Structure 1
Amino acid sequence: MLRRRRGPVSGAELAREAGVSLRTLYRDIAALQALGAEIEGEPGVGYVLRPGFLLPPLMFSREEIEALALGAKWVARRTDDSLSDAARNAIAKISAVLPGDLKARLDDDALIVGSGRERPQHVELAALRRALREERKLALSYRDEKGLRTERVVWPVALGFFESARVLAGWCELREAFRHFRSDRIESARILEERPPRRRQTLLKEWRQNMLTEADSVLAYGRRVSAQAKGSAMTKELVFYTHPQSRGMVVHWVLEEIGAPYSIDVKEYGTTMKAPEYLAINPMGKVPAIRHGDTVVTETAAICAYLADAFPQARLAPAPEARGDYYRWLFFAAGCVEPAMSNHAAGWDPAPDMRARFGYGSYDAVIETLAKALAGRRYIAGDAFTAADAYVGSMIGFGMRVGVIDKRPEFEAYWSGLENRPARRRAAAQAEKLASKQAWEPA
C-alpha cells in the first residue's frame, strides 16, 4: 500500500484499506520498521516509505495471481513480439518462486483473453516504444482515413493499446499541435537523433491538458449566437446527454446548426447511463437525451424535431404547410432505416413470409426506397437543409463507412453535400476530443 503512494498517507486510510483497526495498523507499521523498512511519519500525521527496502519473499493472494495471469495473457496477445516475450518471461519468473497451489492458479486457463480485431501493421511497435523510452523524435510517413499520405515529424508522448487499435499520441511539427496516429496507418517510422525541446513528462502534462480542459458536465460552447437565434428558448438551460461514440452525434450536429449555448453531460455505457439520476431523465438508460428548461426529450428523431421547433430562427424545419416530406423522411429514418440497418449488420433479415410482421418490411426495400427518394436531390425535404437531413444523412454516412449500406451514387452524392457542413465538422471535432479524453483517461 505504501509503495503505491508517492506521498504520505494517513494511518486511518491504510487501516480502512487493510480492513484492520487503527491499533493493529500501528503495530504493523512498527513491525515493518523493526524489519528495516524506512517508514517515516507518525500517528496522526501520515506515513511514507522511502525507496530501497526489500520485503521478505514475495507472496500473492489468489485474486492477485489471477490478475497477473490475465494481464500477461492480454499483453502476450495484443502487443508486439518483444512485449509478448517479456510478459511470458515475467510470468515464468513469478511461477518459479510460488508454492504449488498458487502456481497451479497461475497456470489455470479459466480466464481467457478473446481475440481482438487485428489490423495489419507496417511498423514494429517496438520502434515506437523505443522512441518513447529514449525520448527521440520520430519521422513518420502517415496515411489518413481518406488515403492521403503526409510526412510528419512527431514528438512521441504515449502509446495507447486499445481493443481494436494501437494509437501513438504526440506533438506533430507539421500541424503544430498534438495529434493521434493509428499505428496501422503509419507506413514507415524512423527514429531521429534529435530530441524534442521538452521532456516527455512535460509534453505528457501538456497533452492531457490539451485533450479537454473543461469538465464534461459543464462544457458549453462559447460561439457567438446570432441575433436571429435569440428568443425565449435561449433563456432556458439546454443540457445535452450523450456519449461521443453513439447516435448522439446526430443531435450534436443539430445543436451546432442551431447555434444556441448548451452544456454536455457525457454518460458512460453500463455505469452512469444506468445510474438512478440519469434513469430519471431516460428510463431506457441510453443516449442521447436533452433537457431544455423543464422539458426532457429522448429518442434521436424526436430530439431533432423538437430542436427545430424550439429554435425556429435556425430554419431547420420547413413551414408547417410544407412539412409532409420533412416528417415522412425524418421518421422513415428512425422507423425503417435504422432497424433495417441494425438487423442487416447483425446478419439477419426477415424471411419473405415474415416481412409483414416488421414495420420496415425488408432491408432491400428500405434501401431502394431511400435511393429513389434521394436521386437527383440535394436535400431530402425541399430546397433547404433541415433537421431531417442531419438524421438521414448521418444514417447514410455511417452506413457507408461501416459497410452496412452500399456506396451507391445517390447516397454518395447526397452525403458529400452534407458531411463538410461547418456545424457537422464542429460537432465531429468536439466528439473526437471527448472520445480521446475518455480513451486516454487513466483508470
Structure 2
Amino acid sequence: MSRTTRLLELMQVLRRHRRPVSGNSLARELGVSLRTLYRDIASLRAIGAEIDGEPGMGYLLRPGLMLPPLMFTEEELEALALGLRWVGRRADDGLSLAAGDALAKLTAVLPGELRHRMQDSALWVGPGWERPQVVDLETLRRAIRRERKLHIDYRDQQGKRSSRLIWPFAIAFFESTRLVVGWCELRQAFRSFRTDRIEAASPLEERYPRARAVLEREWLDSLLPESVSVESYAGATSNRREECHMQHDIVFYTNPLSRAGIVHWMLEEIGQPYRMEVLEFGAPMKSPTYLAVNPMGKVPAIRHGDTVVTEAAAICAYLAETFPEAGLLPAAEARGDYYRWLFFAAGPVEMALSLKHAGFSLTAEHEMQFGCGSYEAVVETLAKAVAGRRYIAGDTFTAADVYVGSHIGWGMQFGTLERRPEFEAYWAGLRDRPANRRSEAYIAEAMQAQAAAGSAQPTS
C-alpha cells in the first residue's frame, strides 16, 4: 500500500468513529505499526486535518477538512447497493421510495463498467418478517427530526395497554422488528417501544427540553457497564462516573474473559435492551449480593424482571422463548434437534473438553460413570451433527447455533477441540454474524486492556 493510499485510508477510518479511538485500534485496523500511525497522523495534521488527541488518549477527527472525491471500489458499490436495497425492502414507504431514488441517482453518475456492476449485483435482500403496523413510521421519523414530544397508545408483551408521552430520538431497524427509542415521561426512564405494538401516535407541537443528540448520548452512556473497573477494563468503560438512574429490561452479569461471551452474543442477536454488570473474578463474584443471584458465584447470569436465569445454555433457551420475534426458536419440527444439540453441547461436550483440557484420562469404567463418555466419542458425535449442515437444527439460525457454535469456535481457537473440516465449515458460516462480531470486539478490547494492566485472570 502506498503512503498516499494509507493516509486516505486513515482518514476514512477516522471518519467512521464518532468517539475517540485508540492508536492501537487504528494501527491494528490499518495493519501498520504504532510508530507509523503516529507519523501518519502528524502528516495529516500538517495538511490541515483537525485530529484531536494524543498517544494514550485516543484520536478523533473533527469536521472541516475537504479532500478530493474518491472513486468507489467494487466492494464499496456492493455495500451501497445492498444497503439501499435493504432499506427499500425493510423500511416504511417514504424511506423505501427515497432509497430507490438514491440508488437511481448513484447509478446514473457512475462510469459504464461500474454502472453495470451496480445494476448486476449478486447480493439480494430476501423477504423479512413482516408485521402489521398501525402507525406509519414517517410519523415517528418526523417527530424525531423536529425533536417534538409524541403521545402514543402502547400495548406491551403481556397485552396491557397504556398511554405514554415520550421524547423519541432514534428508530432501530432489526431483521425481525423495529424499535423507537425515547425518554418515557410515565416511567421517567429511557425506554424502547416495538413499533408494531404502537396502536396510535400523535406528535405534539411541544419540543422536548434537551436536544436529540444529547438524549442519544445519555441513552448510550446508560447502556455502558457501570461496574467495570477502570484499572482492569479501561478499554471497555465510559468516562462517565455519576450514577445512572436508567432502568433496563435485562441485567446481564458477566466477565468478558469467560463463557459469558456466549450469552453476550445471544443478547446481541435478540436485539433487546440490556445492561451489563461486569464482575471481576474473586471477591466480587463471591459477594453476598451476587451470591443471591447465583449461589455458585459464577457468570453468566441474567435478571429479567423478577426472573433470574443462570447457566449459558439455559439463558440462551430462555431468551429464545421469551423473545420469539427474534426468530431464534426453530419451527416445531426442528425442536428435537434444537434441544438435543443445545444440551448435548452443555453436557457431554462441555464435560469432555474440560476433562481433557485438565489432563484427566478416563478409564473404561470412568467412561461408563461419567455422562460424557469418552472424548473421542463426543468429538465424533459432534462432528457428525454439524457435517454438511449450515445450522444445527432445521434450516434457520437458532439459539442452539449460538451455543454450539461458541463451543466449536472457542474450542478450536484455544486448542481444547481438534480442528476438523466439519467444525471449520460449520463455524465459518456463523462467526461473521454482526451480533457475534460485536460481542467479540468487546471481549478483544477487554483482553487488550487487561493485558496492558498485566492482570490476566482465569476464566470462570
Instruction: State the Cα distance separating 1:439 from its structure 2 match.
Output: 4.9
Kindly indicate whether the alpha-carbon contact (under 8 Å) linking 1:248 and 1:300 is maintained by their aligned counterparts in 2: yes
CA contact (8 A) 1:349 1:363 kept: no
* Shift in alpha-carbon separation, 1:188–1:238, aligned structure 2, 3 A: closer
Deviation at 1:373, TM superposition (A): 1.1
Alignment equivalent of 1:356, drawn from 368, 374, 385? 368
How many Å separate the matches in 1 of 2:334 and 2:295? Answer: 34
Aligned runs of 1:153-302 on 2, under 5 Å?
A: 175-176=13-14, 177-178=21-22, 179-180=24-25, 196=42, 202-206=54-58, 226-227=177-178, 230=194, 237-302=249-314
Matches within 5 A, 1:320-335: 320=332, 322-335=334-347
Distance 2:35 2:55 in 1: 20
Q: Distance in 2 between matches of 1:302 and 1:260?
A: 18
- 1:340–1:173 distance in 2 versus 1, CA, 3 Å: farther
- Residue deviations 1:227-279, cap 9 Å, x none? 389499xx972011111111111111111110111111111000311111111
Q: Deviations over 1:347-388 (max 9, x none)?
A: 223122321110010100000001111111111111111100
| Cα distance in 1, alignment partners of residues 342 and 331 from structure 2 | 15
SS at match of 1:239: strand
Tell me what 2:316 maps to.
Answer: 304
Secondary structure of the 1:335 match is helix
Letter in 2 for 1:277: T
- 1:203 Cα deviation after fit: 3.6
1:388 aligns with 2:388: no
TM-score normalised by L of structure 2: 0.50
Aligned pair 1:374/2:403, yes or no? no
Q: Any unmatched runs of 5+ in structure 1?
A: 1-138, 140-150, 154-171, 209-220
Distance 1:187 1:437 in 2: 18
Distance change >3 Å, CA 152–CA 395, structure 1 → 2 = farther
C-alpha separation between the residues in 2 aligned to 1:192 and 1:322? 54
The structure-2 alpha-carbon separation of the partners of 1:389 and 1:436, relative to structure 1 and needing over 3 Å to count, comes to same
Query: Which protein shows a greater Rg?
Result: 1
Q: CA RMSD in A?
A: 3.8
**Count of equivalent residues:** 263
How far apart in 1 are the matches of 2:38 and 2:431? 38
**What secondary structure sits across from 2:56 in the alignment?**
helix
Change (3 A) 1:207 1:333: farther
Distance 1:282 1:203, change over 3 A: same
Aligned to 1:106: none
Contact 2:52 2:59 in 1 (8 A): no
Q: Distance in 1 between matches of 2:55 and 2:35?
A: 20
- Provide, for residues 274-310 of structure 1, a one-character-per-residue CA deviation record: whole Å limited to 9, x for no partner: 1111111111111111010110100000000000011
Which of the pair has the greater relative contact order for Cα pairs under 8 Å at 6+ separation?
2
Matched ranges for 1:391-410 at <5 A? 391-410=403-422
Separation in 2 of the partners of 1:349 and 1:250? 28
1:331-352 Cα shifts (integer Å, max 9, x gaps): 0001011111111112223122
Check whether the contact 1:340–1:366 (CA below 8 A) recurs between aligned residues: yes
Task: Find the residue that maps to 2:408 and give its secondary structure.
Answer: helix
Do the aligned residues in 2 keep the contact of 1:254 with 1:304 (CA within 8 Å)? Answer: yes
- Asked whether the 8 Å contact 2:279–2:285 carries over to 1, the reply is yes
Q: Tell me what 1:417 maps to.
A: 429
Give the whole-Å Cα distance in 2 for the aligned partners of 1:206 and 1:310.
40
- Percent identity between matched residues is 52
TM score, norm. by length of structure 1 = 0.52
**Alpha-carbon distance in structure 2 between the residues aligned to 1:390 and 1:402:** 18
- The answer to whether the 8 A contact 2:172-2:178 is kept is no
Distance in 2 between the 1:319 and 1:256 partners? 21
Q: What 5-or-longer segments of structure 2 have no aligned partner?
A: 15-20, 61-169, 180-192, 198-246, 456-460
**Residues 174/314 of structure 1: CA separation in 2 closer, same or farther (3 Å cut):** closer
Determine if contact 2:248/2:274 at 8 Å carries over to the other structure: no
Aligned partner letter, 1:386: T
Q: Which residue of 1 aligns with 2:91?
A: none
